[in-house]
Structure 1
Amino acid sequence: MKAKKYLWSIICVYFCYLTHGIQAIILSQNNVNFAKQWGFNMSDPQSAAYAAGLAAVSTAVAWTGFGKFISVWIGGEISDRVGRKKLMIGGAALYIICFLGFLFTKSALVASVCGFASGVATSGFWDASGYPAVQEAYPAAPGSALVGIKFFVSLSGMVYPLLVVHNANSGNWKLNVMIPVVMSIICLVLAIIAPFVYDDQKKASEGNDGKSKDAVQAEIDAAKAAMLTKPSKFVVFLVMFYAFLCMAIMYGAQQYTKAFGLSVCGLSEMQAAGMTSIYTIGSICAVLFWAFMMAKLKWSPLKVVLIDSICTAVALAGVLFIHQVAIIYIAIAMLGFFAAGGALQTGLAVVQLFNPGPKGRNTGIYYTFMGAASYLIPVVAAQLTKASGEANAVYSLMIMLLVFAILAILSSLYLVAQHKKIFGKSAL
């Protein structure tokens, strides 16, 4: 069985995304300590200097998103050309450099450069190679294999915020940066020793490249042959644009849930960190649930996306308009379940359904839209924080996420109607 033969490649990708789960939130979870390290006076939360420090952290986060945005498209093309292993190794090496930069730099500018490089490492290297790699290693249920990535991102997202508070209270906040340095070194070792399906096939077909390309093209042609009509350009755009909507919601909730709890809900530091963990627990439960639904019950990825979009809007409305701690915790758990529980990865399966093509290329285009969102959200957050303070900024940001969720519902409903037209059967 291919999944057993290439188990190490699956382990490698999943451990890399366990590490990425920390990279995604390391700046926002340690924002005050990083700002202090970069020379900002963070003694008075009401001061302009404090707001400037938080804005500097958001700017570094934005550069991470920009690195994702500009690299993932070309990364997908390179992955299809040179194979998965080289990009997985390169991403791990870049992660080590970036985390060491975060650990030692006293400059917000250098931290932003490290943020940019970590974005390139994540999307240009790992997303472009890791996502196709797990699909190729587990062809029996590629959708479930993709959702498994989200499980490991969520796992570190659940545990890490609590570690951050514990280590900070113990006076060892830099342990929060040392941990991902060690994990990145393990990623590098795994990437070096793991075999990858695509790379082995590429080696086997050297000198016989025509047959390899024919096999890939035959798979694409078979997917296109299942269509009664060709999807319009607008349909193709919508399935790609979903990455922007989904990532904007997921990234905004992931990065600013703690700030929302502290500044809007009046929670303690540990309670606010607990919100992030509850959000992540919801996403882990969703990963397991949707993996079962798609692998065993053969639910359409589009059906999952529609349900996720509707329930995400409901959860965001609960967070925004019902300011009771118990209700907020329930809404945050729902938000994690439906917005961060593999919705982004499931959307990629929808892309392959409506727009069959080389997996690396489709992943690259899809995650370019994702990168745009991960750049836009922290930029908006930084500007709002400067203009109106942290409490108003995070509240306005949550309203914007609700608007995006409504757009995702409308897009999904349109795609459900198009699915009937294109494939002759309902996605529901």
Structure 2
Amino acid sequence: MKNKYTPTAIGLYINYIVHGMGVIIISQNQNSLMTQWDTDLMGIAKVISMLGIGRLIAIMISGRLSDKFGRKPFIYLGMVTYAAYFFGILYSPSVELAMFFAVVAGISNSFLDSGTYPALMESFPKTAGTATVLLKAFIQGGQFALPLIIKFLASNHLWFGWSFMIAAILLGINAIYLWKQPFPDADAKLAEETEEVVEQAPTVKFKSKPKMAIEGVAFVIYGFIAQATFYLISQFIGTYGEQVAGMAQTDAGVLVSYYSIGSLLCVAFTAIMASKVRSVYLVVIYTFVSFLTIAIMWLFPTPLVCMIGAALVGFFAAGGVLQLGLTVMGEMFPAGKGTITGIYYTFGSIASFVIPVAAAQIAKTNVRGIMLFDTIIAGIGFVLAVIIFIRYRQTIDTSK
């Protein structure tokens, strides 16, 4: 039977096309923005860094408020503030004001996540892993489309600001489209208020109650580890290939492309597999292969190993395991999905700040040490995945 929330999901996915654009739109337009703000690359970097600050500020509280006030209001709040970001960056006369609007964008991302992830898990309870992993595909789609849009504008000598305007206009059209679409939490609340009997989505059967002090803590740390594992590779694989594996600079730069291809292939693969097997199995397998691959890249730093390893890490570490981890956490702690989304991604955001700084310190004296550092992180991630798997089997009835 067709799921009545499918049209809603389409609108939610469109938002993440725009989000994908929003993450890279400053760097893609950096030359024009440097002129507008009378700054240099350091000024651009300061503005971009504020995206993470904004996300960290809001993600925890927005998740709790999403549980209290509903998914739809927070999704719309995210859309409105994202539009403010696009217009604010475009018309900011200085780096300082642009930094403020970049913080707004990070907050917007938190609002969207706290409403969208729970809404998708509630809309498609049997295939929650597939539904959430697909978000990454739409983010990648936005990041693929934006450079093409900017190239078209430049080739035709059109105003660079149209790239910002197009993103904002897409949000506006999508806001109109989503206005009349149903949301599962709103339907459930209405049914409760009117005492209607409605068909309920299948619920997880527990053999024993999951403990926040055990698997809850494991999930939180796993959110940090999963983000750190692939973030390190994405930021340092080029440097590692050049300085440790002895690759030419141009060849080392292509390693990021292998990483991206692996990530996209995994999104497609996981979207299929997550509907056939439980997400917890994929989490364990993906985390183990990531750990093994990174360890081999550290032990045998050759150009061939780096090329294959970059693609494998992209597939198994960056292709959706972070989202799958959240899906499993949502199964084990079904009450308050907005809250757990906030907690989970808060620690992922912390990793985005802490890990690059630590890796940069290591790189000053020993670039190869970065891969050892990532091997240790990935190893911890595998241990956590095993703990989560064991506790999942102990607490959840998997007979059906």
Per the TM superposition, whether the score is higher than 0.5 is yes
Letter in 1 for 2:171: S
Q: Distance in 2 between matches of 1:89 and 1:402?
A: 40
Give the C-alpha shift of residue 292 in structure 1: 2.1
Which of 304, 307, 322 in structure 1 is aligned with 2:301? Answer: 322
- The 5 Å alignment of 1:241-256 reads 241-254=221-234
Which of 127, 133, 138 in structure 2 is aligned with 1:147? Answer: 133
Q: Distance in 1 between matches of 2:25 and 2:98?
A: 12
Q: Distance in 1 between matches of 2:176 and 2:297?
A: 42
Task: Provide, for residues 281-332 of structure 1, a one-character-per-residue CA deviation record: whole Å limited to 9, x for no partner.
Answer: 3222212212322212x2x3222112222222344456666352x6544322
Give the 3-state SS of the residue equivalent to 1:140 in structure 2.
helix
Task: Provide, for residues 89-122 of structure 1, a one-character-per-residue CA deviation record: whole Å limited to 9, x for no partner.
Answer: 2111111111222333343322322221111111
Q: Distance in 2 between matches of 1:139 and 1:424?
A: 16
**Contact 1:279/1:332 (8 A) holds in 2:** yes
Quick one: structure 1 residues 252 and 161, their matched pair in 2 at CA, closer, same or farther if it must change by over 3 Å?
farther
What is the root-mean-square deviation of aligned Cα atoms in Å? 3.9
Task: Provide, for residues 59-82 of structure 1, a one-character-per-residue CA deviation record: whole Å limited to 9, x for no partner.
Answer: 433322222223122212222222
Give the C-alpha shift of residue 406 in structure 1: 2.1
Match of 1:22 in 2: 21
Give the C-alpha shift of residue 131 in structure 1: 1.0
Q: Say yes or no: does 1:85 pair with 2:78.
A: no
**Contact 1:69/1:375 (8 A) holds in 2:** no
For structure 1, list consecutive stretches of 5 or more residues without a partner in the other structure. 42-52
Q: Say yes or no: does 1:352 pair with 2:330.
A: yes
Letter in 2 for 1:23: G
Letter in 2 for 1:411: L
Q: Distance in 1 between matches of 2:61 and 2:275?
A: 31
Q: Distance in 2 between matches of 1:34 and 1:258?
A: 26
Give the C-alpha shift of residue 235 in structure 1: 2.3
Q: Distance in 1 between matches of 2:23 and 2:236?
A: 12
Give the C-alpha shift of residue 175 in structure 1: 5.6
Quick one: structure 1 residues 87 and 232, their matched pair in 2 at CA, closer, same or farther if it must change by over 3 Å?
closer
For structure 2, list consecutive stretches of 5 or more residues without a partner in the other structure. none
Which of 72, 83, 107 in structure 2 is aligned with 1:120? Answer: 107
Q: Say yes or no: does 1:239 pair with 2:219.
A: yes
Letter in 2 for 1:403: I
Match of 1:47 in 2: none
Q: Say yes or no: does 1:39 pair with 2:38.
A: yes
Q: Distance in 2 between matches of 1:397 and 1:27?
A: 28
**Contact 1:245/1:405 (8 A) holds in 2:** yes
Q: Distance in 1 between matches of 2:272 and 2:24?
A: 28
Q: Distance in 1 between matches of 2:248 and 2:22?
A: 27
Letter in 2 for 1:376: V
**Contact 2:210/2:333 (8 A) holds in 1:** no
Q: Distance in 2 between matches of 1:278 and 1:166?
A: 25
Query: How many equivalent residue pairs?
Result: 394
Give the C-alpha shift of residue 256 in structure 1: 6.2
Quick one: structure 1 residues 318 and 187, their matched pair in 2 at CA, closer, same or farther if it must change by over 3 Å?
farther
Match of 1:129 in 2: 115
**Contact 2:332/2:396 (8 A) holds in 1:** no
Letter in 2 for 1:116: V
Give the C-alpha shift of residue 83 in structure 1: 2.0
Task: Provide, for residues 351-410 of structure 1, a one-character-per-residue CA deviation record: whole Å limited to 9, x for no partner.
Answer: 1233342222222222222232234356668x769x96xxx8997766644432222112
Q: Distance in 2 between matches of 1:105 and 1:293?
A: 45
Give the 3-state SS of the residue equivalent to 1:237 in structure 2.
helix
Q: Distance in 2 between matches of 1:262 and 1:31?
A: 26
Q: Say yes or no: does 1:96 pair with 2:83.
A: yes
Letter in 1 for 2:18: T
Task: Provide, for residues 119-162 of structure 1, a one-character-per-residue CA deviation record: whole Å limited to 9, x for no partner.
Answer: 11111x11111112122222331221111212212333445467
**Contact 2:218/2:387 (8 A) holds in 1:** no
Please say which of residues 356-365 and 234-243 is displaced more in the overlay: 356-365
Give the 3-state SS of the residue equivalent to 2:274 in structure 1.
helix
**Contact 1:158/1:276 (8 A) holds in 2:** no
Which of 32, 51, 73 in structure 1 is aligned with 2:60? Answer: 73
Give me the TM-score of the superposition, normalised by structure 2.
0.81
Give me the TM-score of the superposition, normalised by structure 1.
0.76
What percentage of aligned pairs have identical amino acids? 29
Match of 2:376 in 1: 403
**Contact 1:63/1:375 (8 A) holds in 2:** no
**Contact 2:241/2:306 (8 A) holds in 1:** no
**Contact 1:89/1:191 (8 A) holds in 2:** no
Q: Distance in 1 between matches of 2:235 and 2:352?
A: 10
Q: Say yes or no: does 1:291 pair with 2:250.
A: no
Q: Say yes or no: does 1:6 pair with 2:5.
A: yes
Match of 1:50 in 2: none
Match of 1:306 in 2: 284
Letter in 2 for 1:96: A
Q: Distance in 2 between matches of 1:415 and 1:25?
A: 34
**Contact 2:85/2:101 (8 A) holds in 1:** yes
Give the 3-state SS of the residue equivalent to 2:285 in structure 1.
helix
